[in-house]
Every structure is written in structure tokens, then in C-alpha cells.
A and B are shown apart, each in its own frame.
Chain A
């Protein structure tokens, strides 16, 4: 029988974002795949070398447009290490607050897109409706729904508005009731189980060999979470469990993400309790002048050389909703970073597509790729 290549993308309902999955088919069976990326390349790493340390944050929100806070946090941690700054404790808790709300928002976005991939329309609407609550909460203290620009080198921009804590708790109560409803809609239906069980299996050794991280790795039974293994910010001061499943298939990834959202609600309750009890500053006191509120011209370049700017490199790794993201910032003195480098988890996750797509039917590709949770903005950068 003759084999043929099919382009699924760049404009295809399966591709969330702008990328192309080339599939080689033998009848209905996938015999080879070839993911093509690069349609969304904006040169963020290079542009960052031309921006102030704080102005890079505007690019980070556009790096991954559903998990902007995780990328802000990632860059900020590396930049602070490179500039030898330490944020106050309240800012660390506020960052965890942002991160965990972002995890819920990103997973709800994934849930909405994933269930639509397997043909369910109502859960898509529920997921998007509940994500809106998280976005509204963001708007109350950052001033925007997607491009936050909230974290700053040395802290965060502003404190929470009065009354935020009570509203956030209401939203958490609302969300924690919804998660059970999602389970009824999907796991309660045997159609879903027959469609997703034993589909897109990626075992733990293959995950490690291809650098696959995040919920895909945890669904294969590996208990690996940077929030536990390499704690950053205030994650060593909050209690939570790492969600692990053993199926390594699409259903297992669904279970891991739903459990992560429940654990995020648990973390957020502790963080809100801490924030209520401990008021304090949200910006570090000792900041270089050009990192403060006004970004005045620095004068001639000779001034920079005259003054002893501390040099350094910063490395940070953050458990993003999609997986493990890594940033590396080189500070050679001056107001711009010398080099910024990121590692995107989704890049590795879709690079392993040969391992979890070959052998399945062509109709199985949308649910499998949907369960990977793809955000092309961070793959291409």
C-alpha cells in the first residue's frame, strides 16, 4: 500500500497555535511524524539584549500567552540572581500567588481546548467561563487580563487591593466545586474513557530520554516536580502534594492536570492566609537607580564603565504549567542583560512526537496532541 505525507497545520483545528505536524500515513495508521515549528519566531532572546532588565518583562508575557506569569517569574528569578538582589518575603508569596492562579488558568485553558479536540463542546464553554474568573482576579491587581507586567526585578509592582483576599477565596470555592463537575462530564462518560485510555503512551524511560517534563512526565509515574525538588520563592513554605499517575496515556495526563489544579487551590489558600497576616514591603529597598520607578537616561557610556557594576550570571528553573522551564541571564554590567537564554518545556514535549504518535490512527492525533498542552509562543519565542 502506498504511503503519503499529510500536513496537519499550520491552519488546522488540531494545532493550538501556529505550527505544522507532518504525518506519514499508511492507510489510517501513522507511520512517521515530523513536527515543524518556527512560524511564530519573534526573536525574543535577541530583543531582550536591547531592553532594560525591567522592560524584558513585557516580552515574557508574550512568550507564553496562557502562562505569562510563570515566564515572568522565571526571568525575574534569573535576573535577580545575576544582579545580586533579593526580594522581600511578601513579594515571594505574591509571586507564588500569581504562579498558582496561572497554573489553574493555564490548565483550564488546556481543558477547554483538549475536550474540544475530542469533540465535546459544553465542557469547552465551562472551562473558558471559569478561566475568566482567574483573569478577572488578575485584572484587579495587575491592571490587565493577559499581559500583566506585574513582577519587577527586586519585587512586584504593587500590593494587592483591599478586599482581594475575600474575593479570591470565593473564586477558589467556586473553582473547587467545578473540578468535580469536570470529572463527571469526562470520566463519567465511557465514550471519553474508550477514546482516551491506552492512547499516546509515553513511558518514563522515553520521557527521560527525550527531556519530556511536566504533567507528561508525572503521568508516566515519575515523581518529579521542581517546586519540590528545587524549591524557589516560597514553595518550600507551603504544603502540597505532587500529582502522579501511572497510566502514561491521555487519561493519565488528564488526571494529573486535574489533580494539579486541586493542589493549586490548596496552595493558594495557604498563601492567602499568609498574605493576610503579614503586611510588608513588596519591593527590595536596595535597588540600583535605573531599576527603580523612573527609567531616566543613564548618560554617556563612560559612566557605566567608571562605576563598578556588579557582574554575574543568573540561572533559574521553574515548574511551568507545561513543564520545566529554565532561564539563563548574563549580566556583564550595564542596564541591559548581555545574554538571555530560555529553555521551553513544550519544545521538548513535541519533539518526542515520534514516540507517542507512531502506530496510532490518524483520528487519534488530535486527542494525543491535545493532551500534550502545546503553547507555540514559548516554543518559537
Chain B
């Protein structure tokens, strides 16, 4: 299209038509809106009502499907405490730093179970936490009404998130697939002291400490003071949370590709 746009409608000499022509269009829309109003009368009508779902023309006069709350709407989180493995991935992936890991009853006293507590005053509903959750226990639901009069009520404890989960709201069905070339946890054997910290804190118990042979001390050489065990990571169970890397006292675990 090389030709340039110009206004096609000719200016009209009759001043009455200046007003009446647009008004005719507006009146047509007004007549339509009497029978099919464009507004959904919230809170008396609600978008998640079944009547806005699966009908060819909803009451709003909009095309099918448009105007409802879809299942993958990103609203309040739901947390299934039973399947949470305290891997900390949600807190790490949060760009707003609104997730704290707090202790919930149920873990053994030495290694308490920690579940996310979300501050909705900071949350931006980006959904990165539910994308990162390896067990699918932290998902986002279609619930969107959060107004309170107290700021402290914006902080949702794990128990409160569990209540959202128990309401069985439609949950975000989209789970991201893990990348095929995921890195694995590798070990630098010379630095390891066999302290068992990684195997103890691994949320999925995928690290086992295996015995390694104690080498013979050559004359004039001193053997390192260590426990003669080494961690072995089961890659298929590993959720890549990095807890072992952060607890390792000797920094001998790192990310890498397994040959």
C-alpha cells in the first residue's frame, strides 16, 4: 500500500448532521446494551460462576470464553504441605523476595520442615515460584480477592496457604518441563572430608555416602584427616535445589555436566 491515508468522510454542511450522525451510532449501541449489557455486575455476578463457562454467548455479549476466569489465572497460591520437601527453590526464584521459609510442625527436631510463607504485600504474581517447584506442591489458584484492613493479614503462613489448597480451587494446570541438558551436582574429591552434611540436609534423600578405600600412606607423606566416605548423587531423584552446595563446609560440590 503506497497510497497515503486521507480522511474519506466528506465534511458536512448541515450542522444538525454534525451531531445526529455519531448519535445514531451511539443510540444503536445503547439499544444493544439494554438487552446484553457489557458489564458484569460484580460482586452480585462473578466471573467464575459456571454460567460464564462453556456457553456460546455469555451474558456480557462477549464471544465464547472471553470474560471468564481461566484455570491458569495467577492468583493466590495453594500449598500442599504434605508433599513440600523444603527445597527452598520457590524462595530463591522469587524476584520480589516475598517468600520466607518458616518452620512447620511435622519435621524431626534436628531438621525442621520448612515451608514457604508468602507476603502478598510484596508479591507480584509472576508465577516463577510455582514454575520452580519441583514437586508441584506450590501452585497458583484462581482466587483473587485479598483485601484486608490489616497489613499483617497480607502475610500468608503455610497453614493459611494450605487452607487455600483445601478449597480445591482450579489450579494453574501448566507445569514447565525441565530442560533436557540439566546440570548435575559434581564432586571435587580432593576437597571432600566425608562430613555427611550434604546427605543429611538433602530434601529428597538422593545423596548416599559410600565408603572409599583408604589409601596407603607413602613414606614421608601425611594422609588428610577425613572420614573415608564420599557422596554419590542419584541424578534421577535430584531436584537441583542446591542445598548440598550451600551446606558443604569445604565447597567441594559444584554444578556441572556429567560425562
Q: A183-B9, A185-B22, A293-B178 are in contact. Are A245 and B4 (CB under 8 A)?
A: yes
Interface residues of A in 166-208 (CB under 8 A from B): 166-167, 170-171, 174, 181, 183-191, 193-194
Cβ–Cβ < 8 Å partners of B17 in chain A: 190
B5→A252 contact, CB < 8 A: yes
B82 contacts chain A at the CB level, 8 A cutoff:
no
Shortest A233–chain B CB gap in Å is 22
0/1 per residue, A125-147, Cβ < 8 Å to B? 01001001100110111011001
Select one of B25, B64, B74, B95 contacting A144, CB under 8 A. Answer: B74
Known contacts A126-B29, A167-B63, A193-B11: does B183 contact A289 (CB below 8 Å)? Answer: yes
Q: Do residues B4 and A221 form an inter-chain contact, with CB atoms below 8 A? A: yes
**Interface stretch (choices A36-44, A156-164, A349-357):** A156-164
A99 within 8 A of B: no
Measured between alpha carbons, how far is A76 from B158 in the docked complex, in Å? 34
The interface residues of chain A lying within 8 Å CB-to-CB of B65 are 136, 140, 163, 167
Known interface pairs A139-B70, A143-B70, A293-B176; A122-B125 also in contact (CB < 8 Å): no
Residues of A within 8 A of B241 (CB): 294, 296
Contact (A136, B5) CB under 8 Å given A185-B25, A293-B178:
no
Which residues in A have their C-beta under 8 angstroms from that of B89? 294-296
User: What residue in chain A is nearest B65 (Cβ atoms)?
Assistant: A167
CB pair A189 B19 closer than 8 Å: yes
The answer to whether B182 has its CB under 8 Å from any CB of chain A is yes
Residues from chain B with a CB closer than 8 A to the CB of A54 are 128
Residue contact A143 to B73, C-beta cutoff 8 Å: yes
Check A140 against B70 for contact (C-beta < 8 Å). yes
- CB-defined contacts of A141 to chain B, threshold 8 Å: 72
Q: Is A259 an interface residue (CB 8 A)?
A: yes
CA distance A289 to B245 in the complex (A): 15
- A166, A292, A307: most-surrounded residue (chain B CB, <10 A): A292
Interface size class of A (residues with CB under 8 A): 35 or more
Across the interface, do A129 and B38 meet the contact criterion of CB distance under 8 Å? Answer: yes
How many A-B residue pairs have C-beta atoms within 8 angstroms? Tell me. 187
Q: Are B72 and A137 in contact (CB under 8 A)?
A: no
Q: Is the CB of B63 within 8 A of A190?
A: no
Distance between A163 CB and nearest chain B CB, rounded to angstroms: 7
Bin chain B's interface residue count.
35 or more
Give min CB distance, B241 to chain A, whole Å: 5
Beta-carbon contact of A187 and B179 below 8 Å: no
Is B70's CB under 8 angstroms from A247's CB? Answer: no
CA A252 – CA B131 in complex, angstroms? Answer: 46
| B126 and A58 within 8 A (CB) | yes
Contact A293–B132 (Cβ < 8 Å): yes
Is there contact, CB below 8 Å, between A184 and B5? no
Known contacts: A171-B63, A184-B21, A189-B22. The answer to whether A143 contacts B9 by CB under 8 A is no
Q: Which residues of A contact B31 (CB under 8 A)?
A: none
Complex interface: chain A residues within 8 A of B9 (CB): 183, 187-188, 193
Asked whether B95 lies within 8 Å of A58 as measured between CB atoms, the reply is yes
Q: By CB atoms of chain A within 10 A, which of B7, B74, B93, B253 has the most?
A: B7
> Are A149 and B7 in contact, CB atoms less than 8 angstroms apart?
no
- Alpha-carbon separation in the docked complex, A182 to B92 (Å): 48
Can you name 14 extra interface pairs (CB under 8 A) apart from A184-B25, A187-B7, A298-B255? Answer: A122-B26, A126-B29, A143-B172, A161-B70, A167-B64, A170-B66, A187-B9, A189-B21, A243-B5, A292-B178, A292-B182, A293-B131, A296-B241, A303-B255
List residues of chain A with CB under 8 Å of any chain B CB: 51-52, 54-55, 58, 122, 126, 129, 132-133, 136-137, 139-141, 143-144, 147, 149, 157-158, 161, 163, 166-167, 170-171, 174, 181, 183-191, 193-194, 221, 223, 241-247, 251-252, 255-256, 259, 283, 285-287, 289, 291-300, 302-303, 306-307
User: Can you spell out 18 A-B residue pairs with CB atoms less than 8 angstroms apart?
Assistant: A58-B124, A129-B38, A136-B66, A137-B66, A139-B73, A149-B128, A163-B65, A167-B64, A170-B63, A171-B63, A185-B22, A185-B25, A188-B21, A191-B18, A246-B4, A283-B177, A302-B251, A306-B254
